Amino acid sequence: MRHLLAGLALALAPLAPQAAELPIFDAHVHYSHDAWEFMPPKEAIAVLRKAGLKRAMMSSSNDEGQQRLYTEAPDLILPSLRPYRSRGDTGSWMRDASVIPYLEERLKKYKYVAIGEFHLYGADADLPVPRRMVQLAKQHKLFLHAHSDTDAIERLFKQDPGARILWAHSGFERPEKVVEALRRHKNLYCDLAFRSDQASGGKVSADWRAAFLEFPDRFMVGTDTYTPERWLYIVEHANWSRQWLSDLPPAVAERIAYRNGEAIFGSMLAR
Ligand SMILES: [Zn+2]
C-alpha cells in the first residue's frame, strides 16, 4: 500500500489551486504506543497541520497517546476510545472482560466522540464484552467506529437500533454492498481509509461515483496509521484524497473531504 500510494502520487498531475486548498477531515488516525517515540506529540501535530487537516479523528492503543495529542491541539484532535491497551489486543479484546472496566474508567475521565476503532466480525459481535460496549456507547451518546464485516454491523444495529456507526474502511466491501448497507441503515457512515479502489489516476470509478452521489452525506476519508511509519504518509494521503475528490462535483467533494466529518463529530466534544 505504501508503494502503491507513493506510485500513485508520483503519477498524478499537479493539483489545481482550488483542490490544493481543500481542507481534509481525516476520520481514521491512530497514535499507538510504538508511535509515541517514533513521532513525539509536537511533531505529530506538525504533520497533521502540514497535511492541511481540519480535524483528525484519533484513537490509540492505549488511550494515553491520543490524550497527549489532544492536550497539544484540542482544536484538531477528536478522540475516540479504543478497547485496546496494546496493539496485540486486536484479536482478543472481545473475550476479555477486563476491557469493560477500562472503558468505563476512561469514559468517566475524558471526553470522546466514539468508541473504536475496534475489530469485530460476525457472531463475535454478540459476545458479552461487545454487547456491553454497545450499551456504553449508547449511554454516552458516542459513535461506534467498527472495523467489521456486514454481518457484525447488522448485529450491532440489532443490539441498538439507535446506534450510530462509522464503518471503518467501508468494511472493505464492494461499493454496491456498501450502498445496500447505507440504504438499510440511516445511521451508518463510512470511512474510506486504506482503500484505493475508489479512484485511479485521479478518476473516480463508476460504481463508487454512484455510491458517493447517492449518499454524499455518509462518506469520509481516512489515512489509517496502523503502524508508526504510516504517519509519514498522512500528508501524501491528504493530497491524494484532494486529487481524486476533485473528480466529483465540488459540493460532494467538500462533503466527503471535511464537511461530513465536521457536521457529525465537530461539535460532539462541546456537549
Ligand atoms: Zn485503523
**Residue 99 neighbours by CB under 8 Å, 6+ apart:** 83, 89, 93, 129, 133
Is residue 267 pLDDT above 80, yes or no?
Answer: yes
Cα 111 to middle of ligand 1, angstroms: 20
pLDDT tens for 169-221 read 999 999 999 999 999 999 999 999 999 999 999 999 999 999 999 999 999 99
Provide the H-helix boundaries in 185-226: 206-214
- Dist. CA 30 → ligand 1 center (Å): 7
Q: Is the pLDDT confidence value at 12 over 90? A: no
How far is ligand 1, taken at its centre, from the CA of residue 17, in Å?
Answer: 31
Ligand 1 centre to CA of 62 (Å) is 14
> How far away, in angstroms, is 104 Cα from ligand 1 center?
22
How far is ligand 1, taken at its centre, from the CA of residue 144, in Å?
13
Q: Which residue is listed with cell 454497545?
A: 134
Residue 41's SS3 state is: helix
Neighbours of ion ligand 1 (CB under 5 A): 117, 224, 226
Q: Which helix (H) or strand (E) holds 181?
A: helix 175-184
CA-CA distance, 187 to 205, in Å (whole number)?
Answer: 25
Please state the pTM of the whole predicted model. Answer: 0.92
Q: Has residue 43 got a pLDDT over 70?
A: yes
Segment 94-120, tens digit of pLDDT: 999 999 999 999 999 999 999 999 999
pLDDT of residue 243: 96
The alpha-helical segments, DSSP class H, found in 39-92 are 41-50, 64-72
Centre of ligand 1 from the C-alpha of residue 271, in Å? 26
